């Protein structure tokens, strides 16, 4: 049987950008991407073109960094540090409506697998579910403390739906993860990853780190939590990238993965549909893409990317990866290998 193989990863596109690209979303069955970042704008780009170029969305737009972009049917929804969500017409790239969604910085915007809901998390420490078509607030989820243990404001960075859309996970700066039942809004589980939070009481009286990425396995049984380990210099992301895998229902930690070679923060994690392995992206001033076995936590393959990777998307067959960087948009190919057992050749007897 032919399967995609992480060891065959190779770069296809490397498009330098003057802006930092914080978010991207891919249009199904295509190489069209919606991207956004530090210049407050949202763009479309088609990597299938011979000369891929950014096409800007038109409207009043955002007033600060755009940190999340989601696709829901014929609409694109973007979220920003300005606390607003904006709905755009995907076909005309024009602004339709906007809502004041959060009182502090929005950190992530994601669609549900069926495209009916959009989830947002922000530094007001709330997760919210929105009707993807109408923009109406469906539900507000509150569990994360607004203050760190050292009485400084916390942050809510990470959010992910399960593949079937029934569960939602949210992760914050001090390493707390809540798991929610989407339909009822009830919290159904929680796990803790406190190593991902660093506090410096002497030099800066400042904290850094936190959970930046969460992901459910395809079976929804395993929850991956990504961030950074203990940091020596809190003015930089100079610490080991860190991933912890949990059986979230029991709260049991399955693996602790620490990488001191490619240091920095894990920004996003995606499981292969087979659940045999998963990929993680992130960085410090440079970026990386790493692949790990789910069962053992063993590193399978990793590559250095030129700039910090903020977001990642994959195609349906999981043989093309798209990444958003500090100053780049990139794509990568995964080749295929035949994992069918080789039949033994019998010796010829005359």
Half-sphere exposure of 133 (CA within 13 A, CB side): 5
| CATH number of the domain that residue 172 is part of | 2.130.10.10
Whole domain around residue 292: which residue ranges? 147-305
Residue 346 has pLDDT above 80, yes or no: no
* Residue 73 in domain: no
Give the single-character DSSP code of 339.
-
Name the token pair of 158.
Answer: 């990470």
pLDDT at res. 150: 86
* Residue 234 in domain: yes
Q: Which residues contact 343 (CB under 8 A, 6 or more apart)?
A: none
* Residue 208 in domain: yes
* Residue 219 in domain: yes
Query: Partners of 226 in the beta sheet?
Result: 213, 243
pLDDT at res. 208: 76
Give the whole-angstrom CA distance, residue 267 versus residue 264. Answer: 9
* Per-residue CA distances from 231 to 36, 93, 337 (Å): 29, 42, 39
* Residue 220 in domain: yes
Cα 217 to chain centroid distance, Å, stands at 14
Query: Partners of 262 in the beta sheet?
Result: none
Query: pLDDT of 266-308, one tens digit each?
Result: 999 999 999 999 999 999 889 999 999 999 999 999 999 989 9
Give the whole-angstrom CA distance, residue 40 versus residue 60. Answer: 10
* Residue 30 in domain: no
* Residue 141 in domain: no
Residue 205 has pLDDT above 70, yes or no: no
Query: pLDDT of 232-262, one tens digit each?
Result: 766 666 789 999 999 999 999 999 999 989 8
Mean pLDDT of 50-65: 97
Give which of 182, 132, 126 is closest to 154, Cα–Cα.
Answer: 126
Total domains, the chain: 1
Residue written as tokens 């930089």? 236
Residue written as tokens 């000369």? 51
Q: Considering the chain, what percentage of its residues have pLDDT values greater than 90? A: 84
* Residue 312 in domain: no
Query: pLDDT of 130-184, one tens digit each?
Result: 999 999 999 999 999 999 998 889 999 999 999 999 999 999 999 999 999 999 9
Half-sphere exposure of 102 (CA within 13 A, CB side): 30
Hey, how many other C-beta atoms are within 10 angstroms of the C-beta on 305?
23
Give the whole-angstrom CA distance, residue 28 versus residue 47. Answer: 13
């Amino acid at each position: 049987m032919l399967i995609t193989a992480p060891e065959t990863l190779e770069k296809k596109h490397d498009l330098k950008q003057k802006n930092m690209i914080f978010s991207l979303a891919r249009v199904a069955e295509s190489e069209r991407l919606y991207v956004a970042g530090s210049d407050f704008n949202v763009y479309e780009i088609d990597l299938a073109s011979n000369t891929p170029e950014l096409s800007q969305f038109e409207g009043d737009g955002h007033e600060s960094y755009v940190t999340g972009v989601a696709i829901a049917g014929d609409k694109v929804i973007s979220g920003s540090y300005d606390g607003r969500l904006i709905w755009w017409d995907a076909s005309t790239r024009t602004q339709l409506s906007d809502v004041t969604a959060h009182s502090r910085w929005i950190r992530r915007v994601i669609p549900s697998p069926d495209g009916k809901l959009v989830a947002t998390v922000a530094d007001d420490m709330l997760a919210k579910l929105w009707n993807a078509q109408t923009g109406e607030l469906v539900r507000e989820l509150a569990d994360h403390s607004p203050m760190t243990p050292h009485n400084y404001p916390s942050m809510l960075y990470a959010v992910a739906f399960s593949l079937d859309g029934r569960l939602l996970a949210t992760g914050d700066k001090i390493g707390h993860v809540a798991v929610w039942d989407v339909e009822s809004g009830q919290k159904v589980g929680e796990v803790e990853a406190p190593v991902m939070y660093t506090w410096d009481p002497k030099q800066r009286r400042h904290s850094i780190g936190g959970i930046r990425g969460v992901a459910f396995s395809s079976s929804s049984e395993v929850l991956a939590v990504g961030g950074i380990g203990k940091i020596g210099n809190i003015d930089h992301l100079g610490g080991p990238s860190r991933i912890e895998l949990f059986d979230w229902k029991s709260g049991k930690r399955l693996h602790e993965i620490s990488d001191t070679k490619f240091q920095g923060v894990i920004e996003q994690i995606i499981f292969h549909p087979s659940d045999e392995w998963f990929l993680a992206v992130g960085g410090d001033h440079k970026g990386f893409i790493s692949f790990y076995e789910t069962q053992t936590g063993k590193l399978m393959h990793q590559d250095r990317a030129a700039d910090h990777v903020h977001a990642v998307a994959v195609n349906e067959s999981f043989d093309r990866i798209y990444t958003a960087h500090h100053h780049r948009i990139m794509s990568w190919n995964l080749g295929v290998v035949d994992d069918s057992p080789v039949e033994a050749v019998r010796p010829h007897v005359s």
